[in-house]
Amino acid sequence: MQKISVLIPVFNEAERLEIIFQALTQAWPKRFKLQEVLFVDDGSTDQTARLIKKQIPLLRSKLHAPVKLLSYQINRGKGYAVKVGMQVATGDLLLLTDVDMSTPFSELQKFFARKVVSSQVVVGTRKNGRSTVLLAQPLHRQVLGKGFTYLTQLLLGIKISDFTCGFKLFERKAYQTIAPMMKINRWGYDAEILYLAKKYQFTMTEVPVSWSNDERSKVNLLRDVVKSLFDLLAIRLYDWRGSYTLASDRDTLKTRLFSWLKV
């Protein structure tokens, strides 16, 4: 049985932590073996780190798996937190999820359907017409979100209907390949991850999930969509400059260059 690392990035989430604590202890599907739970505290200034530390012994006893808190003092952005967690994770699979549990753990079983199981990256979607949206976002947020999705598809050439759903599953080879090359620290990180997955030819599948909007979300959609658009351009620039080349490939290119120069 494959073991799953659960990665939960957090920033000033003291008021919402109880949601994820209850989900882990009461709603984690028993059929899926936990390798570890990784909380990555992205420089919180409230009681987030203290509350997680306090809860870790209970979580460990309930889950029968390691529960770790990775923390640093300066807020770097959710993308940076995801990168840190991916580089520490050891599971055969890695589940990236949000602290507010907008998509419940029960949806994980859909990721293991026969037609999906061979995929190396599985992306939860709220937007393909077959998802269950229990509590929708306000209309203006939906419109801006659709516009961002369209531009992301256009600029990055990825046929994904929902880049920003916080419920994604990665095989070990995929997340270990992607993480070291991640450059986008904030809201464009989802698009960067999927762009890298496409670039390195990892098989991707979208799966419709149940999702409920949390009105306490920290996303300022208009501001963050604008920032994300600049991130999309940065992704293209990074790729053009060779920043998304694996270290082993860079060494090969250097060897070839030196051999050409000697000739």
CATH for 125: 3.90.550.10
Tens of pLDDT, residue by residue over 21-35, are: 999 999 999 999 999
Within the chain, residue ranges assigned H as helices are 17-26, 48-63, 78-88, 139-156, 172-178, 189-199, 221-240, 247-262
Element (H, E) at 96: strand 93-96
Tens of pLDDT, residue by residue over 42-82, are: 999 999 999 999 999 999 999 999 999 999 999 999 999 99
CB 47 within 8 A of CB 133: no
Question: What crossing angle do the helices spanning 78-88 and 189-199 adopt, rounded to 10°?
Answer: 50
CB 220 within 8 A of CB 144: no
201 token code pair: 């030819």
From the number of C-beta atoms within 10 Å of its C-beta (0-12, 13-18, 19+), residue 187 rates as buried
The pLDDT-based confidence of 261 (bands split at 50, 70, 90) is: very low
Confidence check: pLDDT of 187 > 60: yes
Which sign, positive or negative, has the C-alpha torsion 130, 135, 139, 143? negative
SS3 104: coil
- pTM comes to 0.88
- Boundaries of domain holding 220: 3-262
Q: How many domains does the chain have?
A: 1
pLDDT at site 226? 74
